[in-house]
Structure 1
Amino acid sequence: MKKILLFLILGFLMISSAFGRQSQVKEPTLEEKIGQMLMIGFKGFEVSDTSHIVRDIQEYNLGGVVLFDYDVPTGKAERNIESPDQVKLLISQLNDLSETPLFIAVDQEGGRVARLKESRGFKPNVSAQYLGEINNADSTRLYAEIMAEQLQDLGFNVNFAPVVDLNINPENPVIGRVERSFSPDPEVVVNQTSIFLEEFSEHHILGVLKHFPGHGSAWNDSHVGMADVTETWQKSELEPYRQLIEKDYNFAVMTAHVFNENLDPEWPATLSQKVQTEILREELGFDGVLFSDDMQMEAIRSFYGLKTSLEHAINAGVDVVVFGNNSVYQPDIVPRAVQIIKEQVEKNNIPIERIDESYRKIMELKKKLNI
């Protein structure tokens, strides 16, 4: 009888202890949820205690960072990427700062847009246009596998690629002219992209399709001004997204800073609920994580204030707001953004449900990526 009583007491104590541990799991604050919705760039080949990135991760629960090889404000190839060993160490240092897994992102498309360059000891790559023109599945898989393996080995888990913009305007200064599009043919784009997404998934890399709802027909560069595609955009530019969503690959989507009066007469795509929720979410059925394009690009920064752009981007459906800190450099962008978003939630200009929805999507994706 005494043994039975002892077992019962021990069992009760174990259950009580487990319940106590569960009750101690703290619900994240509003500020911590907002922090997960931000991704920023910073300067430095290594983490130093004086860098704002330390503060942003440890005090604001920053959700992600993006690394660059070239620093635009200074015009020097001195930013975050110097060599494979250095990048691997930097990413390890960043991860050590955070209790919550970080998105570690890079723009490694291949060709002209490759932050990991062969001249610095990284593996060779080719442009999307090159692969689309030869349109050979084996060749594409070879380069996709090389890219995915390298990204995984270095510690990245997000790649802002592949580009699924159709090459409608070959003279487009930021797509066609720099060989970032696989093809003007949606079928070629889908086939090429599918191979990259398969290899990325195999290596726990999140591919991010860009730029929704299509940047391939533009005549100007959204880095330096608003790209108006009202007269040039074609509905076929949605086709890669439609088909890839139906294939049920694991990927995210990035918005485009383009204005199309026929889709939304007031707001550019990144800030448009009509584009990001009604078309991408509801019409096409995308339920994954949506990244903004860099919010410091001229197309957004010069036309809209920070408060307006944050409010409308989040309400449009953006889950992760990206500040590359590489058009302008703003070391205080994270505390400013967190404060603005918090105030907009408190004023009911951004529903708390939008924050909770984005936070849930982000955390579920990080778990799915096994990071």
Structure 2
Amino acid sequence: MFQRLPLVILSLILTMIPTVATSADLDTMIGQMLMAGFRGYTVDTNSPIVQDIKDRHLGGVVLFDYDVELGKAERNIKSPDQVKKLNRQLQSFATTPLFVAVDQEGGKVQRLKREYGFHATPSAQNICASGDFKVRTSGYMVGTTLSANGFNLDFAPVADVNVNPDSPAIGKLERSFSADPQKVTRCAELFAGELKRSGVLSCLKHFPGHGSAGTDSHMGVTDVTKTWTETELIPYRELIAKRIPTMIMTAHIFNAHLDPKYPATLSHKIITGILRTDLGYKGVVITDDMNMKAITEQFGQEEAIRLAIEAGADILLFGNNLRYDPDIVKTAHAAIKQMVDNGTISHKRIEQSYERILVLKKTLN
């Protein structure tokens, strides 16, 4: 949220956001389709991420507490006061308000930790098993914590069904609410509702379902062809019918039954075919981290960018943490612009994503 900005100023900023994509230039539209991570507890006009916000119209940032490439807990999050100041600084450089995102699920996946002075919450599995009140309470605590510290987007709740309790990225970390898709649906709805009540956007993940995976897509190709079933779509189908999701994150999983060639993040059959056409989802689709090895080991960066956009993704997420590149936004932005200029990607396709992003940003308050 932008609660640190005077209400009059924030209202003016939001009303200045173009109502149709054609009123914005191509550079702006492409920039809004990118979200990136960066290094630093503070930023200034010389910071690479600030240059991306100012010069390339970067649409969003994601904060981490741990730098994977460096192997130490020195990244963006040190204390509440520091984070609030950092998020204010970031927003101050943006013409169109930024999505300021973080993974704050609870349990083992929360970047704002107790040791840094934040309020910690239990895992999704724990709270869902404890009943509706616990889910609501945890969702509200996460939402108010994020809102108070300048975040407006939580990459949560996880809508994966706990098909495989030993799944290294989901089940073992207690990130799934339940093995029962109806309980997942119920708990995800309650958690997302409390985030919304706190003024924070939610993001369901990881479509079309990561709960049966036997490997971790951070580490390489994750094939669920033999383990995935359509029951994993139930939470998405029911929540979309209720118009709950404001954003959905794709999974880097491969399922030959759904697409014999591409993982979900790069699959037109899955994103446009299943998610948008079959399930009727009209909101923003964001990729999981495009730096994860399930993508980078199989596809070149430009090819992956092209495929994700052609598949129907609106925002490409570069966590910039598994490996760090201060020029990642500059490189991605230039690649997309070149694809539009040479006709590989249509201008209309960029406009579609830009319009969806603006519609969602206008709900920020």
Tell me which amino acid in the other structure corresponds to 2:39.
Answer: K
**Secondary structure of the corresponding residue to residue 65 of structure 1:** strand
Mapped contact 2:171–2:211 kept (Cα < 8 A): yes
2:12 aligned residue: none
AA of the residue aligned to 2:306: E
SS at match of 2:304: helix
- Equivalent residue number for residue 110 of structure 1: 106
Q: Does 1:281 align with 2:276?
A: yes
Q: How does 1:343-358 map to 2 (within 5 A)?
A: 343-358=338-353
* SS of the residue 1:253 aligns to: strand
- Are positions 1:68 and 2:64 aligned together? yes
What's the CA shift for 1:67?
A: 0.1
Q: Which has the higher mean CA deviation after the structures are superposed, 344-353 or 57-66?
A: 344-353
Task: Please say if residues 211 and 256 of structure 1, whose CA atoms lie closer than 8 Å, have aligned partners that are also in contact.
Answer: yes
The answer to whether residue 152 in structure 2 is matched with residue 157 in structure 1 is: yes
Structure 2 residue aligned with 1:97, among 70, 93, 97?
93
| Counterpart contact for 1:197–1:251, Cα < 8 Å | no
Would you say the 8 A contact 1:39–1:62 is kept in 2?
Answer: yes
Q: Is the 8 A contact 1:201 1:250 kept in 2?
A: no
What is aligned with 1:204? 199
Is the aligned partner of 1:50 residue 2:42?
A: no
Aligned to 1:339: 334
Aligned amino acid, residue 165 of structure 2: P
- 1:143 is matched with which residue? 138
**Offset from partner CA, 1:236-292 (integer Å, 9 cap, x none):** 000000000111125210000000000000101000000000000000010000000
Amino acid at match of 2:63: L
Contact 1:140-1:195 within 8 A present in 2 as well: yes
Provide the C-alpha distance between the structure 1 equivalents of 2:282 and 2:315, rounded to a whole number of angstroms.
14
User: What does 1:1-371 align with in structure 2 at a 5 Å threshold?
Assistant: 27-134=23-130, 136-370=131-365
Q: Do the aligned residues in 1 keep the contact of 2:239 with 2:245 (CA within 8 Å)?
A: no
SS at 2:363's partner residue? helix
The answer as to whether partners of 2:163 and 2:179 remain within 8 angstroms in 1 is yes
Matched residue SS, 1:343: helix
SS at match of 1:369: coil
Structure 1, unmatched stretches of 5+, are: 1-21
Larger mean CA deviation between 79-88 and 46-55 belongs to: 46-55
CA distance in 2, matches of 1:335, 1:120: 32
Quote the offset at 1:155 in angstroms: 1.0
Contact 2:31/2:333, CA 8 A, preserved across alignment: yes
Aligned partners of 1:49, 1:357: CA distance in 2, in Å? 31
Structure 2: give runs of 5+ residues left out of the alignment.
1-17
One-letter amino acid matched to 2:208: P
Say if 2:161 and 2:180, in contact at 8 Å, map to a contact too. Answer: yes
How many Å separate the matches in 2 of 1:257 and 1:128? 21
Name the aligned partner's letter for residue 149 of structure 1: T
- Runs of 4+ residues deviating >4 angstroms: none
Structure 2 counterpart of 1:313, which letter?
A
CA deviation vs aligned residue, 1:159-212 (integer Å, no higher than 9, x gap): 000001011011100100011001110111011111111111112211000000
Name the SS of the counterpart of 1:359 in structure 2. Answer: helix
- Tell me the alpha carbon deviations over residues 289-347 of structure 1, each in whole angstroms, 9 at most, x when there is no partner: 00000000001111101111011100111000000001110111111111111111122
Q: Secondary structure at the match of 1:254?
A: strand
Highest relative contact order (Cα 8 Å, sep 6+), 1 or 2?
2
- The amino acid across from 2:106 in the alignment is G
Are 2:246 and 2:360, in contact at CA under 8 Å, matched by a contact in 1?
no
Whole-Å separation in 2 of the counterparts to 1:367 and 1:126? 31
**Structure-1 separation of matches of 2:247 and 2:313:** 11
Residue 15 of structure 2 corresponds to which residue in structure 1? Answer: none
Structure of greater Rg: 1
Normalised by the length of structure 1, the TM-score is 0.91
Secondary structure at the residue paired with 2:24? coil
TM-score (norm 2): 0.93
Q: Is the 8 A contact 2:249 2:285 kept in 1?
A: yes
**CA contact 1:274–1:316 (8 Å) conserved in 2:** yes
Q: In 2, Cα distance between the equivalents of 1:351 and 1:178?
A: 41
CA–CA separation in structure 2 for the residues paired with 1:114 and 1:156: 13
1:199-229, Cα deviation, whole Å (9 max, x unpaired): 1111221100000001100100100101000
Q: Within 1, Cα distance between the matches of 2:94 and 2:302?
A: 27
Match of 1:5 in 2: none
CA RMSD of aligned residues (A): 1.2
Contact 1:167/1:176, CA 8 A, preserved across alignment? yes
Secondary structure of residue in 1 paired with 2:332: helix
Larger CA deviation: 37-46 vs 242-251: 242-251
User: How many angstroms does 1:27 deviate by?
Assistant: 3.1
Equivalent-residue separation in structure 2 for 1:235 and 1:124 (angstroms): 33
User: Residue type matched to 1:186 in 2?
Assistant: P
